[in-house]
Amino acid sequence: MYSKEQITKIRQLINNYFDKGEVFDKLKKKIESEKIQIDDLDNEKLTKLLRETNLIDNLILDIKHLDEIDEFNKQNKQLTFIDPDRINYRSVSLRIYKGRAFLDFIEPENSKLQLYLSFCGQRFVSAIVDASVEPEFNELFLFDLRTETQKANVDLLTLSKLDHPIELSVIQIQNGQRKLFSQKLIEWRFLLCYGNISLNIELPTTYNTKMQNERKNHVGILQIHLELLPKTGLVLLPENIVVSQLSKEKSVINQISDRFHTYGNAWWNDFKELKLSVRPIKLYSESQDGIWRPSCTFIRELQSVRGIMSPNHAARFVSLIPMKTSDRGPSGDRLEVWHRFPTFLALKGGDFEDHCLLLCSFFLGFNLDAFVVFGSTTDRPHGWVMTRLQKPKKPNQKQAEYAYNFWEPLTGHKFELNDPKVPQLYKRIGCIFNNKCFYANIQENDSVLRTDLNIEDYTKWKAIDPIEIQLLKPQNFQLNLLRQTIHADELEPKLELQLREAIGSYRKIINLATRYDEKLGSIMQIALANYETEKITGLQFAQFEFQSAIRSYIPEGHTFMSFPICFNHMNIQKMLEDIKTSPVGGEVLTARGDQTYHAVRVKMEIYPEDIYAVWVSVSVRFHKIV
Residues 6+ apart with CB under 8 A from 386: 370, 371, 372, 373, 404, 405, 406, 407, 432, 453
> How far apart, in whole angstroms, are the C-alpha atoms of residue 124 and residue 119?
9
> How far apart, in whole angstroms, are the C-alpha atoms of residue 440 and residue 463?
6
pLDDT of residue 17: 53
> How far apart, in whole angstroms, are the C-alpha atoms of residue 234 and residue 23?
14
3-state secondary structure 320-351: HCCECCCCECCCCCECCEECCHHHHHHHCCEC
> How far apart, in whole angstroms, are the C-alpha atoms of residue 583 and residue 165?
52
Q: 550-574 burial string, b = 16+ CB within 10 Å, else e?
A: beeeeeeebeeebbbbebeebebee
> How far apart, in whole angstroms, are the C-alpha atoms of residue 59 and residue 14?
7
Please state whether 304 falls in left (phi above 0), alpha (psi between -120 and 50) or beta. left
pLDDT of residue 147: 57
> How far apart, in whole angstroms, are the C-alpha atoms of residue 513 and residue 84?
60
Q: What is the CB neighbour count within 10 angstroms for residue 308?
A: 22
Any idea which of 186-190, 227-231, 427-431, 603-607 has the lowest mean pLDDT? 227-231
> How far apart, in whole angstroms, are the C-alpha atoms of residue 420 and residue 234?
66
Residues 6+ apart with CB under 8 A from 525: 601, 603
Q: Which of 452, 458, 416 is nearest to 437 (CA)?
A: 458
- Strand ranges (DSSP E) for 350-393? 369-376, 381-390
> How far apart, in whole angstroms, are the C-alpha atoms of residue 79 and residue 115?
14
Any idea which of 244-253, 297-306, 524-533, 537-546 has the lowest mean pLDDT? 537-546
What's the pTM?
0.84
Q: How confident is the model at residue 259 (pLDDT cuts 50, 70, 90)?
A: very high
- Taking only the tens place, the pLDDT of each residue in 50-65 is 666 655 555 555 555 5
Across the chain, mean pLDDT equals: 86
Query: Does the N-terminal peptide bond of residue 230 adopt cis geometry, omega within 30 degrees of 0?
Result: yes
Angle between helices 55-75 and 21-33 (to 10 degrees): 150
Does the structure show a pLDDT above 60 at 408? Answer: yes
- Taking only the tens place, the pLDDT of each residue in 470-525 is 999 888 778 899 999 999 999 999 999 999 999 999 999 999 999 999 999 999 99
> How far apart, in whole angstroms, are the C-alpha atoms of residue 583 and residue 192?
65
- How much of the chain exceeds pLDDT 90, in percent? 67
Cβ distance 151 to 174 under 8 Å? no
Does the structure show a pLDDT above 50 at 109? Answer: yes
Exposed / middle / buried, residue 611 (Cβ in 10 Å: 0-12, 13-18, 19+): buried
> How far apart, in whole angstroms, are the C-alpha atoms of residue 333 and residue 626?
57
Q: How confident is the model at residue 41 (pLDDT cuts 50, 70, 90)?
A: low
> How far apart, in whole angstroms, are the C-alpha atoms of residue 353 and residue 374?
9
- Taking only the tens place, the pLDDT of each residue in 409-428 is 999 999 999 999 999 999 99
Does the structure show a pLDDT above 80 at 47? Answer: no
Amino acid, res. 557: G
